[in-house]
Amino acid sequence: MERITDTLKILNEEDKQNLDNARISVDESNDGKRKLYIESYGCQMNFADSEIVASILRDNGFATTSKYEDAELILLNTCAIRDNAEQKVRNRLQHLIPIKKKNPLVKIGVLGCMAERLKAKLLEEEKVVDMVVGPDAYRDLPRLVEEAETGQKAVNVFLSREETYADITPIRLDSNGVTAFISIMRGCDNMCSFCVVPYTRGRERSRDPHSIVKEATDLFNQGYREVTLLGQNVDSYKWSPENSENAESVNFAQLLEMVALVNPDLRIRFSTSHPKDITDEVLYTMKKYENICKYIHLPAQSGSTRILELMNRTYTREWYINKIDRIREILGEECGISQDIIAGFCTETEEDHQETLSLLEYVKYDYGYMFAYSERPNTPAAKKLKDDIAEDVKKRRLNEIIALQQRLSFERNKLAVGKVHKVLVEGFSKRSNEHLQGRNDQNKVVVFPKEHFKKGDYVNVFVTDCTAATLIGHSVTEELV
Ligand code: SAH
Ligand code: SF4
Ligand code: F3S
């Protein structure tokens, strides 16, 4: 019973993959520097952006702190993906009013997707805010801070077609020293009808592959053993050199290979893949390199072709299923696959919902991130479709999807029992300092007794037990089977 409650918590909508959980900046040594506090919401790309922001501001005399009470500059890097993500930020801003009253010299900035969505309107709505800065304007932060310090309100929400921050070395905030994220592209050119990201992040652009390989190499030399390549749609990564005469362009499969070759002991992951763009070439590259993890996050959003069409996902249920079959064919049954699903999209019927449940049954996802549809202003869905599914129906369908995923996760994890898994140790387990925790190739969390192992080690773990969220085992000396 305890196990079930435990894992339910992990898959609970409010608790999912940091999507709505804030991350706060760390205490840097700050001799003589001014203190900066950054709180980040949303996806991994936003967390990666905060590390770029910290780097830009460090060059301008700021060091990060974990206590907002101590900071001269408070930045919230925000998410706009669902209404509750924005509400969280608004509540947070209310909490900051007394801080500002106590010390009017403190400046408060809103960065990220909510800043981009609301622009200067945010200054009117939330009086405590001094700066509104969109995701492509972070190089301008030093100037904007100066402007705010003269008592004016400062805004830059310009979206760029080129900015990739390729030359900026991020300051790793909140890092375990073993795993790190590398942004490989920005923006999104897809037009999923429910989604605000194309409006908050702008057009898709890819970062110079050589700067990516250099960042991965530097991380490896600093002791990191895993990098996750980040983008809204990594499979459409495409970089072409400017003024190219002989130089070739680089696609995602080629980039994967370039990063895999940095060192066989550096694990590579990537997120997110759009089902329409992941190619056989990518799957074969994954197969070719042991250090590219056999795990794919492949958001389906719905199992109903009719709903997928309204969502403008550009694939059908059958097409998606074919893609899954192809993954299993090339990478084997064991390849980890996870999903994103939206429950209760406009016009969704019980039959559509049943199709989503049956898709889950078919794929047998290892885990997933599940959401109730939240209408976002000015998106194609908000303009053309009615948000007509009652909240209680959305919640009920969402709960059915979560419960089914819970069972499937448990079933998939049971298949891992009785086998040896190569685990990259990330630190102590959440519950005890006698146990370590890491992940296997398929991105499953594995917990085992510490013995003499430490962070950053690869350990062969024989798995003896599992919950829907965790594998449990002990180290063995024999090789993987
Ligand atoms: N680029 C990624 C996902 C970005 S947003 C992709 O294409 O898969 C992460 C997830 O949030 C989406 O996959 C979707 O499931 C969910 N999401 C996006 N907009 C939403 C909305 N308006 N309401 C509810 N969930 C949403
Ligand atoms: Fe949004 Fe679709 Fe782009 Fe993902 S691919 S960020 S869901 S528009
Ligand atoms: Fe949120 Fe923006 Fe990421 S809307 S999910 S922070 S791209």
Domains of the chain: 2-156 (3.40.50.12160), 179-414 (3.80.30.20), 420-475 (2.40.50.140)
Say if ligand 1 is within 6 A of residue 82 CB.
Answer: yes
Confidence label for 244 from pLDDT (cuts 50, 70 and 90):
low
Ligand 1 atom closest to the Cα of residue 19 is 9
Ligand 1 atom closest to the Cα of residue 379 is 22
The percentage of the chain sitting over the pLDDT mark of 90, rounded to a whole number, equals 89
Write the CA distances from 326 to 80, 279, 285, integer angstroms: 34, 10, 14
What does the pLDDT look like over 115-145, one tens digit per residue? 999 999 999 999 999 999 999 999 999 999 9
* The pLDDT of residue 395 is above 50: yes
Q: What is the pLDDT of residue 479?
A: 61
What does the pLDDT look like over 262-283, one tens digit per residue? 999 999 999 999 999 999 999 9
Tell how far the Cα of 86 is from the centroid of ligand 3, in angstroms: 11
Average pLDDT (37-65) is 95
In degrees and rounded to multiples of 5, residue 199 shows phi and psi of -85, -25
What does the pLDDT look like over 65-98, one tens digit per residue? 999 999 999 999 999 999 999 999 999 999 999 9
* The pLDDT of residue 10 is above 60: no
Contact 271, 297 (CB under 8 A): yes
Contact 442, 294 (CB under 8 A): yes
Write the CA distances from 314 to 197, 301, 317, 371, integer angstroms: 17, 12, 10, 20
pTM comes to 0.93
Cα–Cα distance measured from residue 147 to residue 228, given in angstroms and rounded to the nearest whole number: 36
Q: What is the pLDDT of residue 246?
A: 62
Ligand 1 atom closest to the Cα of residue 301 is 15
Residue 292 DSSP one-character state: B
Out of 157, 200, 297, 379, mutate this one to test ligand 3's pocket (max ligand atoms within 8 Å of CB): namely: 200
In degrees and rounded to multiples of 5, residue 52 shows phi and psi of -75, -40
* The pLDDT of residue 16 is above 90: no
* The pLDDT of residue 228 is above 70: yes
Say if ligand 1 is within 6 A of residue 394 CB.
Answer: no
Say if ligand 1 is within 6 A of residue 232 CB.
Answer: yes
In three-state secondary structure terms, 398 is helix
Task: Name which of 249, 167, 155 is nearest 215 in CA terms.
Answer: 167
Q: Residue 237 contacts by C-beta under 8 Å, 6 or more apart in sequence?
A: 184, 185, 206, 231, 250, 251, 252, 255
Say if ligand 1 is within 6 A of residue 299 CB.
Answer: yes
Structure tokens, 100: 């500002």
Which ligand has the nearest atom to the CA of 345?
A: 1
Task: Name which of 289, 286, 240 is nearest 261 in CA terms.
Answer: 289
Q: Residue 192 contacts by C-beta under 8 Å, 6 or more apart in sequence?
A: 301, 311, 312, 313
Residue whose CA is closest, atom 14 of ligand 1?
340
Cα–Cα distance measured from residue 244 to residue 73, given in angstroms and rounded to the nearest whole number: 43
Residue with more model confidence, 229 or 479:
229
Tell how far the Cα of 387 is from the centroid of ligand 2, in angstroms: 19
Tell how far the Cα of 400 is from the centroid of ligand 3, in angstroms: 26
Q: Residue 1 contacts by C-beta under 8 Å, 6 or more apart in sequence?
A: none
Helix 350-363 and helix 391-416: axis angle, to 10°?
10
* The pLDDT of residue 385 is above 70: yes
Cα–Cα distance measured from residue 479 to residue 481, given in angstroms and rounded to the nearest whole number: 6
Tell how far the Cα of 282 is from the centroid of ligand 2, in angstroms: 20
Q: Where are the alpha helices (DSSP H) in 289-379?
A: 305-310, 317-331, 350-363
Cα–Cα distance measured from residue 35 to residue 73, given in angstroms and rounded to the nearest whole number: 7
Q: What is the pLDDT of residue 1?
A: 30
Say if ligand 3 is within 6 A of residue 201 CB.
Answer: yes
Confidence label for 28 from pLDDT (cuts 50, 70 and 90):
confident
Cα–Cα distance measured from residue 226 to residue 232, given in angstroms and rounded to the nearest whole number: 19
Give DSSP secondary structure letters for 454-477.
-TT-EEEEEEEEE-SSEEEEEE-S
Tell how far the Cα of 190 is from the centroid of ligand 2, in angstroms: 6
**Taking all residues of the chain, what is their mean pLDDT, rounded to a whole number?**
93
Say if ligand 3 is within 6 A of residue 43 CB.
Answer: yes
Structure tokens, 216: 């991965």
Tell how far the Cα of 194 is from the centroid of ligand 2, in angstroms: 9
Out of 79, 189, 194, 274, mutate this one to test ligand 2's pocket (max ligand atoms within 8 Å of CB): namely: 274
Tell how far the Cα of 450 is from the centroid of ligand 1, in angstroms: 37
Q: What is the pLDDT of residue 362?
A: 98
Average pLDDT (287-310) is 98
DSSP H or E run through 402: helix 391-416
